[in-house]
C-alpha cells in the first residue's frame, strides 16, 4: 500500500477516494478516526491518508494531480450569509422575536382539529 495524498479533514479524504474509485482504482482511507477522537494528533500522524496498492500507485498519483487541479480551479464557495444582525434589529424595533411569525397556533385538543377536518372534507364532497 502506498500513500497518495494526506488531508486534515475526513470529508476531503473521502472525496478523493471517491474520485479515484470512479476512475477504477481501489483506494482506502486510513487514520480517519484519530482526528475525530484526538484532533490535536492530526498534525502529529500526518493527517488522514488515502492509500492505493503498489500496482495502481503511479496512475493514482497522476489522477490525484488532476483531482487537485480541478479542486483549485473550481469556483469559490459563497460564504455564509449573515442575516442575524438584520433579524436582531427588526426584532428590537418590533419588540418581539421574528421567528415567532409564521408559526401556526396549536389546536387546543384533538377533538377540535378532528371536527374541523371533518367539516373541510364534507365541504369538498369527500365522504370517508
Contact by Cβ (8 Å): 60, 4: yes
pLDDT of residue 96: 64
- Please state, in angstroms and as integers, the Cα–Cα distance from residue 39 to each residue in 10, 31, 45, 105, 118, following that order: 12, 12, 11, 45, 57
Report the 10 Å Cβ neighbour count for 50: 25
User: Could you tell me the domains of the chain?
Assistant: 2-73 (3.30.70)
- Residues 77-96: pLDDT tens digits? 666 667 767 777 777 777 66
Task: Evaluate if residue 13 carries a pLDDT over 80.
Answer: yes
pLDDT of residue 40: 80
Q: What phi and psi values does residue 24 have, to the nearest 5 degrees? A: 95, 15
pLDDT of residue 89: 76
The pTM score is 0.54
C-alpha dihedral, 94 to 96 to 97 to 99, nearest 10°: -90
Instruction: Identify the burial level of 27 via C-beta atoms within 10 angstroms of its C-beta, where 0-12 means exposed, 13-18 middle and 19 or more buried.
Output: buried
- Residues 29-77: pLDDT tens digits? 988 888 878 878 777 888 888 999 999 888 998 988 888 887 777 666 6
3-state secondary structure 102-126: CCCCCCCCHHHHHHHHHHHHHHHCC
The torsion region of residue 31 among left (phi > 0), alpha (psi -120 to 50) and beta comes to: left
Question: How far apart, in whole angstroms, are the C-alpha atoms of residue 29 and residue 3?
Answer: 9
Amino acid at each position: 500500500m502506498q500513500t497518495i495524498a494526506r488531508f486534515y479533514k475526513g470529508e476531503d479524504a473521502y472525496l478523493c477516494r471517491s474520485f479515484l474509485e470512479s476512475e477504477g482504482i481501489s483506494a482506502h482511507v486510513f487514520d480517519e478516526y484519530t482526528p475525530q477522537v484526538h484532533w490535536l494528533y492530526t498534525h502529529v500522524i500526518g493527517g488522514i491518508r488515502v492509500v492505493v496498492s503498489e500496482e495502481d500507485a503511479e496512475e493514482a498519483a497522476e489522477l490525484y494531480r488532476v483531482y487537485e487541479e480541478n479542486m483549485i480551479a473550481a469556483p469559490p464557495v459563497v460564504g455564509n450569509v449573515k442575516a442575524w444582525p438584520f433579524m436582531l434589529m427588526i426584532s428590537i424595533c418590533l419588540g418581539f422575536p421574528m421567528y415567532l411569525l409564521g408559526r401556526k397556533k396549536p389546536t387546543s385538543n384533538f377533538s377540535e382539529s378532528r371536527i374541523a377536518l371533518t367539516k373541510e372534507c364534507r365541504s369538498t364532497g369527500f365522504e370517508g
